[in-house]
Amino acid sequence: MLPAENQAQVQNRSPQRPYNPLVKQQQPVKPATQVVETAKEAVNIPVMEASSVFNVQRLQDRIADITLPSKGILYQDKMPNGIMKIRAMTVKDKKLIAGFRGDGTSLIEMLISRMSVECKVLPEDMLLQDRVFILLQLRAHSYGDRLAFKMTCPSCKNEFDKEISISKDFDIKYLPEDTCEPYDLELSNGIKFALKFLRAKDEKDIINYAGSKKAKTENGDPAYTYRILKHIDSINGIKVSQGNQIEALKLIESLEVADEKELDKAILAKDFGTDFAIELQCPACPRQFKGEIPWIEDFFRNL
């Protein structure tokens, strides 16, 4: 298994911005099998009576409709118009988070599966961009719209407090209606690729691969080429599968960096989702700068 900081590096490399706020705080233990079970049962969380002894009925779930950046376009008909229902977190959810022993990705899956209502798309099948958005919305719906964090001025190094509204201050780029998957790219060298978007399960595969025995025998950083591989559906019309994966990795490694740049560019051109860049004004000096809204520590923990 990778140390937590390596996991963060693996994520940072993705051109598709798979932010994973909880990974940094969690030592990966092993892929949690409980997640799959939770995801299956989470299609609809049964309404429980809070306490018959104390004569307290379960309060009505506070449900919000959110529209995912993908607009549901790549989920077949499982999420029409990308509208998803989420409920607010309960103390039990917090308790589960506090005691969770899996890695950060599994924790996010558990959270999403528990707090989505009547959702037909499993958390592992969700696009990374949607997942980031859902986490932000879960946070806003449960704890409020205000997000406070600290920023540092690049000129005078002054650290200052900044507050934003989750619903108003993030720019969301929606996936265009005519988006198809896979989408084609022919490199200048003639190789034809069909490319795809990354799902939560791809990110998990990348982290697992980077921590696997096989990867440890490789030179360099195994996650680097494996992440590129996860974007590829087929090469010259031949589907990339478990059986030809090693060949595909070899081919990726043999590409010239200029070819890789073409690949990167094509993937980035399709990017969508939540924009974390924000214009800031240092309160202590005249410097205006563009910063990235950080994932705060304890995003869902001690708030």
Residue type for 179, please?
T
- CB nearer to Zn ion: give 160 or 265: 160
Nearest to residue 194, comparing CAs of 234, 239, 251?
Answer: 234
Element housing 240 (H / E): none
Is-contact 207 30, C-beta < 8 A?
no
Q: Is 158 in the site for Zn ion (CB under 5 A)?
A: yes
Shortest distance (Å) from residue 289 CB to Zn ion: 8
Return the range that interacts with Zn ion (CB under 5 A); candidates 71-79, 150-158, 226-234, 290-298.
150-158
Q: Measured from the CB atom, is 67 or 158 closer to Zn ion?
A: 158
Identity of the residue, 120 or 162, whose beta carbon is nearer to Zn ion in the bound complex: 162
Q: One symbol per residue from 106 to 135: x for binding Zn ion (CB under 5 A), - otherwise; what is it?
A: ------------------------------
Interface positions, 236-295, toward Zn ion (CB under 5 A): 282, 284-285, 287
User: Does 27 help bind Zn ion (rule: CB under 5 A)?
Assistant: no
**Is 155 near Zn ion (CB under 5 A)?**
yes
Q: Which two tokens stand for residue 152?
A: 């540092």
If DSSP states are collapsed to H, E and C, what string results for 24-68?
HHCCCCCCCCHHHHHHHHCCCCCCCCCECCCCECCCCCCEEEEEC
**Whole-number minimum distance, CB 168 to Zn ion, in Å?**
25
For residues 121 and 128, what is the distance between their CA atoms, to the nearest angstrom? Answer: 13
Task: Say how many residues touch Zn ion, by CB under 5 A.
Answer: 8
- Cα 303 from Cα 294, distance rounded (Å): 16
CB 297 to Zn ion: min, Å: 23
Integer Cα distance of 120 and 39 in angstroms: 10
CB nearer to Zn ion: give 174 or 289. Answer: 289
> Please, what is the minimum distance in Å from the beta carbon of residue 290 to Zn ion?
14
Q: To the nearest whole angstrom, how small is the minimum distance from the Cβ of residue 136 to Zn ion?
A: 27
Does residue 165 interact with Zn ion by CB under 5 A?
no
**Contact between 59 and 50 (Cβ < 8 Å):** yes
Q: Is the sign of the CA dihedral 218, 222, 228, 234 positive or negative?
A: positive
Q: Which is nearer to Zn ion, 161 or 178 (CB)?
A: 161
Q: Verify binding: residue 154, Zn ion, rule CB under 5 A.
A: no
Residue number, 147 or 153, with CB nearest to Zn ion: 153
Amino acid sitting at position 263: L
Residue 156 found at the interface with Zn ion (CB under 5 A): yes
Helix or strand (DSSP H, E) at 99 = none
153 binds Zn ion (CB under 5 A): yes
Q: How far is the CB of 47 from Zn ion (least distance, A)?
A: 51
The secondary structure of 133-189 as a DSSP string is HHHHHHHHHHH-SEEEEEEE-TTT--EEEEEEEHHHHSEEEPPPTT--SSEEEE-TT
Query: By C-beta, is 148 or 156 nearer to Zn ion?
Result: 156
- Of residues 207-236, which lie at the interface with Zn ion (CB under 5 A)? none
Q: Which is nearer to Zn ion, 29 or 285 (CB)?
A: 285
Q: How far is the CB of 149 from Zn ion (least distance, A)?
A: 17
DSSP label of 107: H
Give the binding site for Zn ion (CB under 5 A): 153, 155-156, 158, 282, 284-285, 287
